[in-house]
């Protein structure tokens, strides 16, 4: 595999063998050694062999090894002649992040941080196997799968303004609950309104630095302001949808007419019966995830009001935006001067649409879509904005986070004997967690430096820095 550097922020895997397009990796000299340490570049090349792929198989600077596609991977396939692959979406369908701003400042909140940490930990269900306070019957669950965030808003958990500031308004219209298995539906009945485990989190943070005051003001962000940051997905329902279709597509793999370089890349033609059923079921899981985050953020606001003894007006909590990371979507993009309908896979990657794009909500038309990039629990996170350069080069995509550099097993070995809670508290970060090994697995050094990752996408022009957030309270599963 021959890799050449195109510019300081972009590398290319030259097209060879069965590759239909080249590979394109957004990275830097500081980050590339870590990228080359696992099999993720091989996965980029493997994705480039799939039928109907357009322009390049891409990877963002937070790239690391994943199932079939690398995490941090972006690939667009022609809607008529291309494929759709569950491995290009991932198991946690529409794992994503949601940011809310408040009217509070850190100085006034400082005496209450421990109380807030305890209240959020007690009030937000988290951890493996956790169940939410929203209990559904099968009819209601199917309504959630069909309506997404709007279901939560219609049940008093949020406002119509939240929908406008959610990607796709919190609903994939292709959703068809009849394509979701009974097992997947059952797994979703009790998990709506739960955070989950692993790298999912709820954070209280502060806007530590503003890079673009004009855009930050449009987003409603200012230096010293307290924010609420949430990362969660479609829980067991999304996992089961992925598992179901991987098994079904594997049985039919011989009928695709191509030889896959990796069985984890199993896929179907987008316009086949199987491909359309997966797209409809994936859309259901995406809607479940949006409803889940809508409910969780609403609940976080309720908990904060109670803990601080204030009403909603004093808290002033308002959604900045909600973006998804693991998704495949039908989108129109200009390729070689021609508008084409494509199926854009973003796995561990974020949509970054430019100012003026019709899918950017009216409030942000002049500055572009907000991009939310969480780091690890011990450092910082970023708010970016989408750009025209992203529309022209990455199908309107950018990075989604820091990206792991250690497996969970490696992380646990590396921190043996250390008190991660004490280390974080020394940095002014109160942390609460459920799983016995959660803190060890999610230790900051298990991740790339998110600031280096953000510098790559900012330098490449595929998103631009708006603000930096620092955590002061972290709740993890």
Whether the Cβ atoms of residue 73 and residue 43 lie closer than 8 Å to each other: yes
Sign of CA dihedral 231, 382, 214, 334: negative
Burial 131-154 (b: 16+ CB within 10 A, else e): ebebebeeeebbbbbbbbbbbbbe
Closest CA to 95 of 297, 265, 238: 238
Q: Where are the beta strands (DSSP E) in 57-95?
A: 57-64, 71-78, 83-84
Residue matched to tokens 């421990």: 114
Burial of 18 (0-12, 13-18, 19+ CB in 10 A): middle
> Could you give the CA distance from residue 403 to residue 411 in angstroms, rounded to a whole number?
14
Helix-strand-coil percent breakdown of the chain, rounded to 5? Answer: 40, 25, 35
Nearest to 58 by CA among 402, 346, 373, 342: 346
Tokens found for residue 467: 């603000």
DSSP letters for 134-160: ----HHHHHHHHHHTHHHHHHTTSS-H
> Which candidate, 443, 437, 451, 344, places its Cα nearest to that of 89?
344
Dihedral, 151, 156, 161, 165 alpha carbons, nearest 10: -50
Say how far apart CA 399 and CA 349 lie, in whole Å: 5
| H or E, element range at 250 | helix 235-251
The whole-angstrom separation of Cα 119 and Cα 3 is 50
Answer yes or no: 400 catalytic.
Answer: yes
What torsion, rounded to 10 degrees, do the Cα atoms 178, 181, 183, 188 define? Answer: -50
Crossing angle for the helix pair 273-308 and 113-123, nearest 10 degrees? Answer: 140
CA 404, CA 381: separation in Å to the nearest integer?
15
| Distance (Å, whole) CA 71 – CA 325 | 10
> Active site residue: 231, 298, 325, 400, which one?
400
* Catalytic annotation, residues: 400
């Amino acid at each position: 595999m021959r890799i050449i550097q195109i510019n300081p922020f972009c590398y290319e895997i030259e097209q060879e063998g069965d590759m239909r397009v080249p590979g394109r990796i957004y990275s830097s000299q500081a980050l590339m050694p870590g990228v080359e340490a696992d099999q993720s570049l091989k996965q980029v090349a493997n994705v480039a062999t799939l039928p109907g792929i357009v322009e390049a198989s891409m990877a963002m600077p937070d790239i690391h090894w994943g199932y079939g596609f690398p995490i941090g991977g972006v690939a667009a396939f022609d809607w008529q002649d291309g494929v759709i692959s569950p491995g290009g979406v991932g198991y946690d369908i529409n794992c994503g992040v949601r940011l809310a701003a408040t009217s509070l400042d850190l100085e006034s909140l400082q005496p209450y941080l421990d109380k807030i940490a305890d209240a959020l930990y007690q009030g937000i269900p988290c951890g493996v196997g956790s169940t939410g306070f929203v209990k559904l019957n099968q009819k209601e669950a199917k309504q959630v799968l069909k309506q997404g965030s709007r279901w939560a808003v219609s049940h008093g958990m949020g406002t119509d303004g939240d929908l406008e500031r959610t990607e796709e308004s919190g609903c994939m219209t292709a959703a068809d609950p009849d394509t979701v298995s009974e097992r997947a539906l059952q797994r979703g009945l009790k998990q709506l309104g739960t955070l989950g485990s692993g790298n999912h989190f709820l954070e209280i943070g502060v806007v530590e630095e503003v890079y673009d005051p004009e855009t930050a003001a449009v987003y409603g962000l200012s230096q010293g302001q307290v924010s609420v940051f949430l990362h969660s997905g479609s829980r067991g329902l999304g996992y089961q949808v992925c598992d179901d279709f991987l098994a079904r597509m594997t049985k039919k793999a011989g009928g695709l007419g191509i030889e896959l370089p990796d069985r984890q890349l199993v896929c179907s033609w987008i316009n086949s019966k199987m491909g359309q059923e997966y797209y409809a079921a994936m859309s259901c899981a995406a809607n479940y995830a949006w409803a889940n985050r809508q409910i969780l953020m609403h609940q976080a606001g309720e908990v904060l009001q109670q803990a601080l003894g204030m009403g909603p007006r004093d808290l002033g909590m308002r959604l900045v935006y909600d973006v998804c990371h693991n998704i495949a979507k039908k989108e129109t993009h200009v390729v070689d001067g021609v508008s084409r309908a494509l199926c854009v896979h973003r796995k561990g990657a974020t949509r970054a649409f430019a100012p003026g794009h019709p899918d950017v909500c009216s409030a942000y038309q002049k500055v572009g879509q907000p991009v939310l990039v969480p780091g690890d629990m011990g450092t910082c996170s970023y708010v970016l904005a989408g750009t025209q350069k992203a529309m022209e080069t990455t199908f309107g995509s950018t990075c989604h986070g820091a990206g792991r550099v250690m497996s969970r097993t490696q992380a646990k070995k590396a921190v043996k004997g250390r008190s991660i809670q004490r280390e974080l508290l020394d940095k002014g970060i109160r942390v609460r967690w459920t799983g016995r090994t959660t803190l060890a697995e999610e230790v900051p050094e298990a991740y790339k430096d998110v600031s280096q990752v953000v510098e790559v996408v900012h330098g490449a022009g595929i998103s631009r820095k708006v603000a930096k957030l620092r955590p002061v309270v972290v709740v993890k599963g």
